Amino acid sequence: MSVTTEAGAPTWVVIDAETTGLSPKEHRIVELAVVVLDERGNSMGEAATLLNPGTDIGPADGHGIRNEDVLDAPRFEELAGWLVEWLRGKVLVGHNLLFTSAFLDEEFRRAGFEMPHVPAICTMTNAPRYLPSLPGRTLEQCCAAAGIPLDGPRSALTHARAAGALFGTFLAQRPTLPSPWVQYIERSRRMTWPRVPMVDFQMAPRADEDEWEAGDPEQTAIVSPEMAKMAAAYAGMSSGAAPAPVAEAPAVDSEFVAEVVEDAPRSPEESGPVSAYLGALDNAVSDRVLSFTEAIHLKDLAGALAIFEAEQNDAHRQYVRTLAATAWADRQVTDEERADLVAVGKLLDLSENEVDGLIEETNPDADEGSAPAVAASTEYEAGWYPDPYGQPGLRWYDGKAWTHHTHAS
């Protein structure tokens, strides 16, 4: 079934955002990019701008944006009217789109408008269908599996372009559009958007990557006076009083963990919301900084994605189990690597004993006979495959065959 539309008509709009954190309620969008595609996936135009969230934008390590970069950037409410025009009549596309949509919903709500339930296609959740050998869920993994170069610095526009190219490869594999996508196009063209005033604003492009240097945190400008008061209160400063000692919060800053995340496979039975949740967790860990504060805000994200506490806890256990299995690729987990996995587990409310149990469960050379005897130099590759009963389980590949492991999964 194909779509009857004039050639070159704008049909899809790919959207990506950089945010100040993981909680749609507590955090804000700090950079937004859109790429408009025609029915065949050809780019028809793009736009990107930094946004002034009115609060501190958080650590620059993740998004490469400093507070001073957004001082003259427009606020979301100034951009809202134009964004509606970019989105109106088109199907929304993005990688880990549920995460981005949760932030867009909150931003529109703060601006006094309700975003309609837009037809949307997530390249992350659709990737296994079009990339059967795909190991994981990150945009980097998906692009690598599709042979798409992920060029440029980390930015909303770089990611929107890559997600658009990825979506284009999905379209190219089908002589006609999948039937749900046909209905999405028809629905999007009939959908009524709220009337949002159009306000003139000046785009604020991201500074060139070569010009960006991490500034001294003590010298970094804080956007709003309210945020300055909050920062002072957090540090225990008031009326010239000496800073009160602050208990050190746990955090993960590990190159090992970041590398494991890049190689970790995804479970084939992840629901859309859980995939979105774990995709956000992937990004937080891949930035090599997962803090105690971010771990708290994961609960807000789970709420925004309608993930109940029990499902969130199961997702955390499965996430650490998969990281542990991937860490066994070289047939060892060192004390330092174990400490990193334990640190991730603590931030996800898993005890040290629970993490140790998951590490042992996923040992391919455990005494349970699940792995063949191989040379010490052999490296394993972790992967999710169904067992004879149709339940997914982690298995290992030694270069010749997949194991028949019986560990809990």
Q: Choose between 276 and 78: higher pLDDT.
A: 78
**pLDDT-derived band at 48, boundaries 50, 70, 90:** very high
- Reference 320, options 352, 294, 292; nearest CA is 352
DSSP label at 122? E
CA-to-CA distance for 124 and 283, rounded, in angstroms?
A: 13
Are both 157 and 271 inside the same structural domain? no
Determine which of 1-15, 134-148, 312-326 has the lowest per-residue pLDDT on average. 1-15
CATH code of the domain covering residue 98: 3.30.420.10
- Reference 273, options 319, 304, 317, 313; nearest CA is 304
Averaged pLDDT score across all residues of the chain: 76
Q: Choose between 52 and 283: higher pLDDT.
A: 52
Are both 35 and 181 inside the same structural domain? yes
Determine which of 43-52, 183-192, 246-255 has the lowest per-residue pLDDT on average. 246-255
**pLDDT-derived band at 349, boundaries 50, 70, 90:** confident
CA-to-CA distance for 234 and 217, rounded, in angstroms?
A: 15
Are both 159 and 275 inside the same structural domain? no
Q: Which two tokens stand for residue 295?
A: 């771990």
Give the domain-ending residue among 147, 171, 190. Answer: 190
Determine which of 76-90, 125-139, 197-211 has the lowest per-residue pLDDT on average. 197-211
Amino acid identity, residue 79? L
Are both 24 and 168 inside the same structural domain? yes
pLDDT score for 389: 41
Provide the number of structural domains found in the chain.
Answer: 2
Are both 73 and 143 inside the same structural domain? yes
In sequence order, which residues have a C-beta less than 8 Å from that of residue 121 and are 6 or more positions away?
12, 91, 92, 93, 97, 167, 181, 184
What pLDDT digit, counting tens, does each position of 234-263 carry? 333 333 333 333 344 556 656 787 778 777
Report if residue 301 sits inside a domain: yes
Report if residue 232 sits inside a domain: no
Give the domain-ending residue among 175, 190, 205. Answer: 190
CA-to-CA distance for 273 and 263, rounded, in angstroms?
A: 21
| Length of the chain in terms of residues written | 409
Are both 164 and 287 inside the same structural domain? no
What pLDDT digit, counting tens, does each position of 373-403 carry? 333 344 556 555 544 444 455 555 555 555 5
Report if residue 212 sits inside a domain: no
Report if residue 306 sits inside a domain: yes
In sequence order, which residues have a C-beta less than 8 Å from that of residue 48 and are 6 or more positions away?
31, 32, 33, 34, 155, 156, 157, 160, 203, 205, 206
Question: Parallel, antiparallel, or unpaired for β 120-122 and 91-94?
Answer: parallel
Are both 277 and 183 inside the same structural domain? no
Report if residue 229 sits inside a domain: no
Are both 180 and 263 inside the same structural domain? no
Q: Choose between 285 and 164: higher pLDDT.
A: 164
Are both 184 and 261 inside the same structural domain? no
Q: In this structure, what is the dihedral angle of CA atoms 313, 314, 320, 326, given to the nearest 10 degrees?
A: -160
Are both 29 and 157 inside the same structural domain? yes
Give the domain-ending residue among 151, 169, 190. Answer: 190
What pLDDT digit, counting tens, does each position of 259-297 carry? 787 777 777 777 888 888 888 888 777 664 566 667 777
pLDDT score for 88: 92
Domain that holds residue 362: 251-397
Report if residue 107 sits inside a domain: yes
CA-to-CA distance for 313 and 196, rounded, in angstroms?
A: 40
Are both 186 and 257 inside the same structural domain? no
Are both 28 and 167 inside the same structural domain? yes
CA-to-CA distance for 10 and 125, rounded, in angstroms?
A: 23
DSSP label at 362? T
In sequence order, which residues have a C-beta less than 8 Å from that of residue 11 and are 6 or more positions away?
3, 5, 37, 38, 39, 90, 91, 185
Selection from 51-65, 253-267, 301-315 with the highest mean pLDDT? 301-315
Report if residue 385 sits inside a domain: yes
> CB of 160 within 8 A of CB of 152?
no
Report if residue 216 sits inside a domain: no
**pLDDT-derived band at 187, boundaries 50, 70, 90:** very high
pLDDT above 70: residue 166: yes
